[in-house]
Amino acid sequence: MLSSVDFSGRLSGTDGARKAAVFLASSLNRAGFSPAGEYEFFTNVDVPASRLVSPARLVIVGNELLHRIDFAEYAPFSSGGFVTGDLLTIRDGDDVLPEDLAGKVVLIPERPNDFDVKGTIEYAASLGVAALLIETGEPESFHKTVFGSETSKLPVLRIRRSLAHKFADQRGLPVAIELPLEIKTRPCQNVLGILPGIDSRYTIALTAHYDHLGDDPQGVRFPGTIDNASGVAVMLEVARKLAQREPPLPCNILVAFLTGEESGLWGAKKLALTPPVPLSAVINLDCLGFEKELIALRTGHSASTDWLTELAADVIKNHGIEVRWIAGGDDAVAFIQKGIPTIGLGQKPTLPDSTSIHTLNDNPDNLHLKPIEKGFAVTYEIVNKLIDSPILTGIK
């Protein structure tokens, strides 16, 4: 449902994301959850992000390249801009005078193994380079991000290796770049619902981010089915099942669908800092369905650190799934940093042909359902073990 065209890729702060938030609030209400946000089911979150406001273009000597297929913006380090200039190729070890770079569109056709992206971009900006084109492999389609930096001073594009090599030895080619990249903070919403328990001092939070990358202005779709419509669907079903349990639960269950994960974990940071009730434990779920089978699940930790990680690891192993001790970059990080016992569940791809997230391929046609079913079983069992084992959690 969340990956349908109605929600337009769910980029935080857009109409598609707002529609998704309303849908999720309505779903929690129907499941029997009470509002737990600042305004009914919603809590406002300011999310800064990098967004294209019209199509991006790269034209080299009259050849218009395809956005997302031949090139893409390097969003975390790039400014927007409209640039024309001559192409100048720089390879590792080239002896080029700094003054020769001013006003040029600089192409880096081979990245050294120790390539410092951020440092190179900052140095190029200090020399007056007009724009940077950086070779970035031969992907089926380019990975998209919506991180942004207001300190970036020049447009930076990733370009397909074969095209970088094609143009690398042709000096002085005219280049035109249109990169209407807007970096702006927008009002967004976390969606929060609570199922009150007998002892309101203790709360288990179930979290998943519902935002994704948003569709491009020229119509290229980013459905975000695996990342993270899958995690939201599982958490919503867990919530429905918990609401049907009898007798009343011994503790609160807070379900939080979070915004701004793709732009820097903003929704999770807001919830971790100002939860509606104190959080006793958090289970976050981000990404299921990469492969036909659920072979491995990450935990959000590099090692077993407490009773919750041990409990979760036991459940995962009992389902015949490999435990991967990997500290992630998902919303679980925000809660771990606040010292809240947290598990960051997510499928770990193990096969070379796994579907790639943040690309055009993360769509319903490439989603595998068996990992969704097993992910639900694991998550539901972990939650129920927490609820039914007050000695482990202190709940009751």
CA 393 to chain centre: 30
Name the residue among 333, 357, 352 with its Cα closest to residue 343.
333
Place 160 in a pLDDT band, splitting at 50, 70 and 90: very high
pLDDT digits (tens, 9 = 90+) for 42-100: 999 999 888 999 999 999 998 999 999 999 999 889 999 999 999 999 987 777 888 88
Lowest-pLDDT range, 62-66, 293-297, 332-336, 351-355? 351-355
Place 17 in a pLDDT band, splitting at 50, 70 and 90: very high
Query: How far is the C-alpha of 352 from the C-alpha of 371, rounded, in Å?
Result: 17
The model's pTM: 0.93
pLDDT digits (tens, 9 = 90+) for 276-294: 999 999 999 999 999 999 9
Mean pLDDT in the chain?
A: 92
pLDDT above 90 for 147: no
Query: How far is the C-alpha of 43 from the C-alpha of 41, rounded, in Å?
Result: 7
Residue 84's H or E segment, with its range, is: strand 81-89
Structure confidence at residue 390 (pLDDT): 60
Structure confidence at residue 115 (pLDDT): 87
- Do residues 169 and 189 make contact, with C-beta atoms less than 8 angstroms apart? no
The whole-number average pLDDT for the span 195-218 is 93
Q: What share of the chain in percent tops pLDDT 90? A: 76
